[in-house]
Structures are given as C-alpha cells and as structure tokens.
Chain A
Amino acid sequence: MNTIPIRHKWEPYVWLLPSILLMAIFVVFPIGIVFKLSLSEISKAGIVGGWNNFENFRAAVRDPAFGTVMLNTAVWVVSVVGLSTLLGFITAMALNVKFHGRRIARSIVVFPWATSLVIQASVWNYIIKGEYGNLNNVLLNLGIIKSAVNWRATYQIEFAWECGVGIFVTIPFVAFTVLAGLQSIDKAYYEAATVDGAGFWRKLWNVTLPLVKPSLTVCTVLNIIYVFNSFPIIYTITKGAPANKTDTMVTLLYMRAFYDNQKGAATAMSVIGFAILCVCAGAYMMVTMRKEEQ
C-alpha cells in the first residue's frame, strides 16, 4: 500500500485541519445559515425571527413562477447534460484518433471551458440579437439566408438558445474527461476484439463503453450539479424574461433574494433545489454502481 508511517495518532487530522477550517467557515457555515433561514421568519428589513412552521416553503411553492421554473429546470438539466454528454463523447472519440492537426483541434476544443460564462453568454447574446446580431450579419453577407431572421422570436426559442449555449460550454469538460478515460484503455483489448472479428460498433459497445464508464459516471454527476447550478447564461441572455418564463430555479431564487427581497422564499428554494440535486445525483450514482456490481 502506498502509505507512509505516522508518528502520532492525531497527525493526519493536523494535516487536514486548514482545509477543514476553510471549508467549515466558508462552505458549511453558509449552508447552515441557509437551512436556518429557510425555517425562520424573515422581515422585509432582513431581520431574522423565529421558527415559522415551513411558511417559507409554502411561499416558495405558491410562487406564481414556481411551476414553470421547475419545468424549465428539468428541461435545462436534461437537455444540457444529455446532449453535451452525447456530443462530448463523440468529440472525445474523434480527438482520440490520430490525425494531422490533432493537437490544434484539442487546444481549440478547450477554449469554451477556459472562458468565463458571462463572457460566453454576452457574446452569444450579441450573436443572436434580432436586428444587428452577428449571426444575421454573417449569414446575410455570405448569402446563406435571403433576409434577416429573428433568432429570438419567442421565449421558447430564446430558452432553446440558452440550452444551446449551455451545451456549447459543457462539451469540453465532458470531452476531456472521457478522453482521459479513452486514453487509459489498453490497446490490447481492441486488438483482441479485432481478431475476434468485432466491427466498430461492437467494439464501441463491448469494449469502449464499459471501460470509460467510470469517467463517464463521474463527469455526468458533476455535470448534473454544475448545470443545475448554472447561473450566468440565463441571467445574461434573458434575465428570465418575459415574466420568469425562461428562468431556472437558480436564477429565480437569485431574483427573489436580491431583487424582490423575498429572502425567506429564496432560501426555501435553495433547500428544495439542494434536495432535488441530492436525489438526482444520488440516484444516478446508485443506478450506475448497481449495474457495475451485476
């Protein structure tokens, strides 16, 4: 085992102490505050009162936008995680093949990951602007379209654009995690499969997928968490307009907390969101783990 001898029983805890302190103060403490606030009465001025019998949760669920926002969040998470995993997987497969210019292609694929989400979202916001947006300009000047198209005609289309940007910025993360998994696969498996006469699809299904599954699981769980909590894209492109129709849970709770001064409902939403996230990520992990055991 890859360990070194310890002199004192308490030594490992000393090593962990700075990290535990940092996270206790700046992560655990806010969690505690949020949970406590979600159960307490908060006045308009921000003064925290006592236990109020889950009134905040009732307020959160009664919020006129709650239903739409839950649906939006589901669409947002499922479409972004699902499609970016699919496309990221294909990208990883492509980048795993040897070809001229592969290093350049890899460097380019990493770009969106390295760029701040606010900046990405601002650029896409400009690209799809109705009258003078760059997409219209480029397509018109190239002659691909005959007249200017309104790229954000309805809020559904705007939300679809937001999902698209979400997918766009998530692909590199999936691609690189899967790529790492692909590169750690022993070539001997493929040679054996080829000798047995397996084609591309059989190799993909029977060799590649089982072997990259651990990396795929990790990256999907992380993606569910990140995408659920993703804020800048929607906040920059539509700010939830019109009338919270394009909000997700996170942007709605931000609006409620810092614009509408409903901190109680906002903290309750935080807790609800956290519960959903725990259930989803936990269920996903359980399902994949159980399949592995079988």
Chain B
Amino acid sequence: MRLNTPESVLRVNRRALIAALLAAVLCLVAVNLPIWEFSATVFAKKSGNTFVGDEKYQAVKAEVEAAAAAYAAENGGDPRIVENVTERTNSKGQKTSMVAFEVRQTMRRTGWDFVRSGLAAGKVLLAMVLCMLAAAVLLCEGLLGAMDTNWPELMPRKRGLRLAAAALGLAALLLVPVFMMNCNLAFSRWIRLATDGFPRPGTDALLHTLDGFLYGGTAGEKTLELMAGVQHRALWPLLAAMPLLAAFALCAVVCADGDPRHTLARVLLFAFIIVLCVVILYPYYVMVITGFRSNAETTDMYFQHMFPTKWVWSNLKDIIDRGVPRYLLNSLMLSVGATAIALLCGIPAAYAMARMHFPGRKAFLGFVIMSQMFSPVVLLVGISRLMNALHLSDSVLGLMFINAAFNQAFAIWLLRGTFVSISSEMEQAACIDGCSTVSALLRVLVPISAPGIVTTLIFVFINAWNEYTISTVLISTASNKPITVGITQFSSFNMIEWQYLFAAALLATVPVVILFMCIEKHLAAGLTAGGVKG
C-alpha cells in the first residue's frame, strides 16, 4: 500500500530531508576526523646473547633511546619503545635471552591528509565527499517548494533531481568499502608482494608517496623496509560513516519515491538477489578462470590478477589427450540409456497410477516413496554384490540399470503429476471409439503431455549424468568411467592438477546447466503436483 495522502507525504518528506541533511553534515565532520591509524616501527635493534639489565642490554637500550629522541626531534610525535624478550639456550647450554627493541610510532591520518597525499585512496575519498555534497545540494533543490505537495503532482524534473541525489548517496556509500579495500592494498598487499620479491608495476611511485604521507619524506630508500612492519587499521569515524551514508542514501530514496516501506523492501530485495547471485556464480567463476590457467598460476599464492594472465587453451587439448572425450561419451551413453529405461518403465506405470483404479494402487505408491529412502550409497555393498552376480559390474550397462532404477520413483512421480493435471476426456472418447488403452496412451496422452515428459526426461538425464558414488565403486576400468569419476584422476593425494580438473569439470557442467535452465520453469511445478496430490 502506498502512502499517498498529502499529509503523510509531507511528513515523510520533511523527516527524510532533516535526516538526510544531518547525515550529510555528520559525514563531512567524520571525514575531518582521523580515520586511519598506523603503528609503524621507525627504528629496530636486536640484542642477542644478553640478559635484561646487563651491560650489553644497557648499551643497546641507550642507543635505541637516542634513536627515538632523534626521531622525535626530527618528526615530532611521541615514539614508544617496545621491548620483546625471547628466552633461549645458547650453544654452551647457558640460558640467555634475545631482546628486540622497537621504536614504534603511532600515526593517525585524517581524511584530508589522505586527499592531500596523492594516494589512490585519497582520490576515492575526495570522490566520496564530492558525491555527498552534490547529493545534498540536489536533494535541497529537488525538495524546494515541494514540502506541501502530494508527490505525484510534483514536477518530473524535481523528481529526477531527487533520484539523482539518491544515486549519488548510494555511490558515496559504496565508495567507503572501496576506500578501505584500497588502503588494505596499498598498506599491506602491495608492500607484502614487494617485500617477497614480486613487486607490481608502480610500487616505486607508491613507496615514494607513502614516504611523504607517513614519514614526511625522511625514510627514502628505507620506506619499503619500514612499511613491511606497519600495522594499520580503520578508526571509528570511518566505520561510523558507513551507517550514516546508508541512512543518507535511504532518506534520499524515500524523498524520491514517497513510500519508505515500499522503498526499503525493494532495496532489501535487490540487495538479497545480488548477493545470492554473486555467491552462486562465484564457484563457476573460479572454475572458468582456473580451468584456463597454467599450472604454475593455479598454485601461486602471490597471484595478483582476478583473471588468468594468459588464457591457456591448450589445457583443453591436454585433457582430451588424457581420455576426457571417452569419459564424456560414457556419461552420455549412461545417461541416455538410463533415461530411456526409466521412461519406458515409468510412463506405463505413471499412466496406470494416474488413470486406473485397482487394488494395490496405494501400496505401490507407498513402495515408490519408500524406495526414495534408500540412496544408492547406503546400499552400495548390496549393489556391488548384485552387479557381480549379474556380471554387470564395471560396465556402463550396469550403471544404466542402476541409475534408471533409482530414478524410477522420481520419474513416476513427475509423470503422474503431469498426467493427473490433464483431463482424461479425450482418452475416454478414444476408448469409446474402440481404441485400446495402449493407443489411448501413445496417440492421445503422450503428445499432450510432451512438456511434462521432456521435463522428466531431462531431469533423469541430469541425475544420471551427475551421479558419482555408484560409478566410483562399480567401475574400475578407465575406459568405462563416466566423467564424474574420470575427473578425479586429476586430483590424486599428492598432486592436484587443478587446471585440468576444472577444465574437464567445465565440459561436464556447461551442457547440463543449459539443459536445466530449459526445464527450470516446468520442473518445480511438476515436483509439487506429483507430491501434494499423492
């Protein structure tokens, strides 16, 4: 229900405007407070083979204190001296200790320091502040003279202004995490990479900027060394800016739309959907980028890119050489065979269940549901013995039958749901005309219920294609393995060839995902129809 009376709109608009301006002002204040804290070592000295308080210790301590004083004289601030004592036994068996002195300097930098420093994070911050200011101006302009009017009667131009304000507020909100991420990159990740010998391009310029930003240009060559030990964290004003900005963006959206509940619900809906989709797609992204990387890149902990530096298409060729086409062919045969058997047995059974009354009908339904309780995994011992007795183990044919049998319940269930939902008038007419029940099924019911049958077909196909457990127990010959078992050859205990594993996984996944997307619309309906009316 939308709030559309002039009074309520007036009230909402007024509240939202006040809240938005308050949030904007507070954000600007927050940016002026110290937002990032660094705890850096400006001088370090170790004293080994010593005791706390002895001569050597005193000498080193004096040296450290002098260094701290010199630092304070030069840069100001309040350096602290930290002692770290480690007890150890030396080669002669005496107990000594090793004392590590550090002169630590806690530095706080405000938002304006960041903006002036020339760091990328500073530019992000500047963009954020500009967004906020522009949003506040647009919001005031958009609401000017509109406070007493019902919102649908407002000039469209003004509504556009308020929407723009909302968008800018949202952009400012999203820039906060970008800023924090950028700080983490500049102060930790890139420094770590440079220290470990994998500098990324532009590290020298970054170090120069950091020198100016933190050490007032005094560190020079030693910046990298100093930065390696820096600990840093965001301070509360920055963290407080996030909820404030969120409140601002929300207020602006409310002013633009006029119905806070509706707006909030919409925002939450989209946030949820976006997060869900990102999480769901993430493993597929990993599969794609890893499948086409070189082996060195898949296991490189210093890898700096979100995508392969070079797409290695030869991975595909390598897996083809290692038998993947054979596995895919086996999977295809297995799934087609299983689907055919399951449908040949399932369609008549579902037909009888949907169209005929006979004693034992309920019992059969109960039996079908009970058979769902037993997964092949629990019955593996029994299945493998049975297959041995039938001489079907280690063959694709055996897998076909097992998959068909364990999908039978689902097939009957789905098909019965489809058949029940179709009126039997036409078949009755056909029967009266002298048609047998067989031709009533084949000529009348099957063509009408084709969508339901195709859904069942694809569902069984996919289940058989994705089946892993039975195959891994029953199949031992390499040339009989389906793809789900075949890809495990790329992951042995001591060495996993991730790039081959995922390239093969992609080949196994893509066709099935496409098939599933085709039946997505009908599948769920079939599932419930079959289940509820049972």
Residue positions of A touching B, CB distance < 8 A: 1-7, 9, 11-13, 15-16, 18-23, 25-34, 37, 90-91, 94-95, 97, 99, 105-120, 122-124, 126-127, 131-132, 134, 136-138, 140-148, 168, 176-177, 179-181, 183-184, 194, 200, 214-215, 218-219, 222, 225-226, 228-229, 231-232, 250, 253-254, 257-258, 263, 266-267, 270, 273-274, 277-278, 281
Contacts and interface: CB of A to CB of B under 8 A. Distances in A.
Contacts of A145: 184
Contacts, number: 309
A181 B530 CA distance: 12
B322 to A, nearest CB: 16
B345 A22 contact: yes
Given A22-B401, A147-B188, A16 B349 contact: yes
B359 to A, nearest CB: 9
Interface in B356-374: 356-358, 360-361, 364, 367-368, 371-374
Contacts of A97: 269
Contacts of B154: none
A108 B401 CA distance: 32
B528 A270 contact: no
Contacts of B385: 30, 33, 37
Interface of B: 1, 180-185, 187-189, 192, 265-266, 269-270, 272-273, 276-277, 279-284, 286-287, 290, 298-301, 303-306, 341, 344-346, 348-349, 351-358, 360-361, 364, 367-368, 371-375, 377-383, 385-386, 401-402, 404-406, 408-409, 412, 420, 423-424, 427-428, 431, 437, 440, 462, 465-469, 473, 484, 487-488, 491, 498, 501-502, 505, 508-509, 512-513, 515-517, 520, 523-525, 527-529, 531-532
A3 B531 CA distance: 19
Given A26-B402, A27-B374, A147-B192, A19 B379 contact: no
Contacts of A111: 280-281, 284, 513, 516
Contact of B189 (A132, A143, A253): A143
A225 B372 CA distance: 8
The B contact surface, by secondary structure, is helix
Contact of B401 (A26, A95, A179, A218): A26
Closest 10 CB pairs of A and B: A30-B382, A229-B375, A143-B181, A114-B516, A26-B405, A33-B382, A15-B352, A19-B349, A176-B524, A180-B524
A184 B513 contact: no
B415 to A, nearest CB: 11
A84 to B, nearest CB: 13
B272 A94 contact: yes
Given A4-B431, A132-B299, A184-B528, A176 B517 contact: no
A228 B373 CA distance: 10
Contact of B378 (A1, A90, A142, A273): A273
Nearest to B192: A147
B203 to A, nearest CB: 15
Given A33-B382, A118-B488, A181-B528, A4 B437 contact: yes
Contacts of B372: 222, 225
A108 B466 CA distance: 18
A176 B520 contact: yes
